[in-house]
Amino acid sequence: QVQLVESGGGLVQAGGSLRLSCAASGRTLSSYVMGWFRQAPGKERESVAAISRRGGRIYYADSVKGRFTISRDNAKNTVHLQMNSLKPEDTAVYFCAADPNLLGVTSISYYRGSDKYAYWGQGTQVTVSS
């Protein structure tokens, strides 16, 4: 079992940047597909980005393409989400998630769904002011 802890959230003005981190413990992160999700008040949890175990395949939601970058450092057991050109509509609690991909799924877009992940962090708040 892997434990996930997010950090890096905060309050930022529109147009600013934040870098979220997800630290894993309990298992080697390289064994897991990783994803970032977000949930705004009154809305469903939505996919932001996903990255394959070695980082060779990446998925982004259309709403963040060109602004957000997901990356992973398996040696340090961390995954990052660099968020640039932030907008007020990016305000949400951001969660990282992990899945061992026991089925051997090769399409990273499969991991858009929150139901595809076995492990979740507690989330970190991101607030973008206008």
For 1-22, how does the pLDDT look when each residue is reduced to its tens digit (9 = 90+)?
A: 899 999 999 999 999 999 999 9
- Sorting pLDDT into bands at 50, 70 and 90, what band is 102? confident
For 60-73, how does the pLDDT look when each residue is reduced to its tens digit (9 = 90+)?
A: 999 999 999 999 99
Residue 122: how many other CB atoms lie within 10 Å:
11
DSSP conformation class of 118: S
pLDDT of 27 above 90: no
pLDDT at 26: 86
pLDDT of 104 above 90: no
pLDDT at 120: 98
Query: In whole angstroms, what is the distance from residue 52 CA to residue 72 CA?
Result: 9
- Contact criterion met (CB below 8 Å) for 70 and 79: yes
DSSP conformation class of 64: T
Nearest to 85 by CA among 37, 36, 17: 17
